[in-house]
Amino acid sequence: MKRIAAAALALLTAALMVTVALTVTVPNPALSAAAAVKIMPLGDSITAGPGCWRAYLWDRLQRTGYTNIDFVGTQSGGGCAVPVDPDHEGHGGFSATGIADQNQLPPWLSATNPDIVLMHLGTNDMWGGYIPTDNKITALTKLVGQMRANNPNMKIIVAQIIPMGANACATCPADVVAFNNRIPAWAAGLTTTQSPIVVVDQWTGFNTATDTGDGVHPNNAGFQKMSDRWYPVLTQVLNGIIPQPTVSPTVSPTASPTVSPTVSPTVSPTSGGGRCTAAYKVVSQWTGGFQGEVTVTNGSAAASSAWTATFSFANGQQVTQAWNATVTQSGAAVTARNLSWNGNLSPNASATFGFLASWTTTNALPTVTCTLT
């Protein structure tokens, strides 16, 4: 009888141990889900290339047990010191307002179907100080709506973006502060239980003098800071814990390096003989570099299916980056052709592309010619 009782006690003890083990194991989506959690890093060149915050974040997630995740996007790139899932949705030179106005996000979402979006977007909306803060916030609202149309359960993690130095753009530091100060209340008003919006403060503690190479793009120290800010919030979301947005105190600008004055936006003459007209504008200029913008307008009575704009730099300027057009340069000659989505122009409609370029002693405005087909 004692042996039977002892055997029964042993079986009961084993059953209790199994029950306890099952009770304390809380499923973690990123650790135990059947399908990997898909995370889209969304942004501009700070996210695109090399975008090492993505690599540092991916590596830390892997080392801390969050292995069932998948960075997604229609772009791919890495080249940093640690392993990375290279997929992302970073587009150099793209702005929040441009992505929203051109409805560029929906096809990116349809191609990848993310569960979580990490969005650091708005830097390219600051150049020149001509886009009102309200327009930038409206753009973010539209992007959130497009995310939710793709996935009603989308988890959205939005950054108060890193600062910009006055050496890159005189008006940008204050404009970043104004933009970032709007983010917490905007997120609190738009978040839902089904599709929460969580804010990550990437601004505080980031020094453009030591954490960037040019006042805008992070160096390794800056990328590490960005990763360190993303990680705790992202892991909370992966664990099913949604931090509640709060309205944070107003941030103030940090000291930036002294710089030479920037120029006011200027526009070159248009040309095209009544069919196609093009206007060239310097949006912002700083020592050694500038941002340019060209607007092509269909001045004919018929719709176009494609356009080409050409101009020639007289002072050795070199295009380093462009958006909203395919831009090539051979010597002084620059040629820009429409992309697949902005070639169709109805009468009086226009398309705008932008670029970054270098300059030395003189930055004379070229005359742009354009053609329609």
Instruction: Give 115-140 pLDDT, tens digit per residue.
Output: 999 999 999 999 988 899 999 999 99
* pLDDT score of 147: 98
Q: Whose CA is closest to 365, among 325, 317, 330, 307?
A: 317
**Banded pLDDT at 245 (limits 50, 70, 90):** low
* pLDDT score of 284: 66
Q: Hey, what are 312's tokens?
A: 């020639």
pLDDT > 90? residue 342: no
Architecture category of domain 266-372 in CATH: Sandwich (2.60)
Sequence spans of domains, the chain: 29-238, 266-372
* pLDDT score of 325: 85
User: Which range among 246-250, 312-316, 364-368 shows the weakest confidence by mean pLDDT?
Assistant: 246-250
**Banded pLDDT at 337 (limits 50, 70, 90):** very high
Q: CA distances (Å), 156 to each of 21, 45, 213, 331, in order?
A: 33, 20, 29, 44
* pLDDT score of 16: 33
Q: How many residues does the chain have?
A: 373
Q: Hey, what are 230's tokens?
A: 């993303």
Mean of all residue pLDDT scores within the chain = 83
pLDDT > 50? residue 163: yes
**Banded pLDDT at 288 (limits 50, 70, 90):** confident
* pLDDT score of 286: 66
pLDDT > 60? residue 266: no
CATH code for residues 29-238: 3.40.50.1110
Mean of pLDDT values over 297-313 = 93
* pLDDT score of 281: 86
- The rounded Cα 180 to chain-centroid distance in angstroms is 14
3-state secondary structure the chain: CHHHHHHHHHHHHHHHHHHHHHHHCCCCHHHHCCCCEEEEEEECCCCCCCCHHHHHHHHHHHHCCCCCEEECCCEECCCCCCCCCCEEEECCCCCHHHHHHCCCHHHHHHHHCCCEEEEECCHHHCHHHCCCHHHHHHHHHHHHHHHHHHCCCCEEEEEECCCCCCCCCCCHHHHHHHHHHHHHHHHHHHCCCCCCEEEEECCCCCCHHHHECCCCCECHHHHHHHHHHHHHHHHHHHCCCCCCCCCCCCCCCCCCCCCCCCCCCEECCCCCCCCEEEEEEEEEEECCEEEEEEEEEECCCCCECCEEEEEECCCCCEEEEEECCEEEEECCEEEEECCCCCCCECCCCEEEEEEEEECCCCCCCCCCEEEEC
Instruction: Give 67-120 pLDDT, tens digit per residue.
Output: 999 999 999 987 788 989 999 999 988 999 999 999 999 999 999 999 999 999
Instruction: Give 40-67 pLDDT, tens digit per residue.
Output: 999 999 999 788 999 999 999 999 999 9
**Bridge partners, 312 (sequence order):** 333
pLDDT > 50? residue 204: yes
Distance from C-alpha of 87 to C-alpha of 135, rounded to nearest angstrom: 29
**Banded pLDDT at 243 (limits 50, 70, 90):** confident
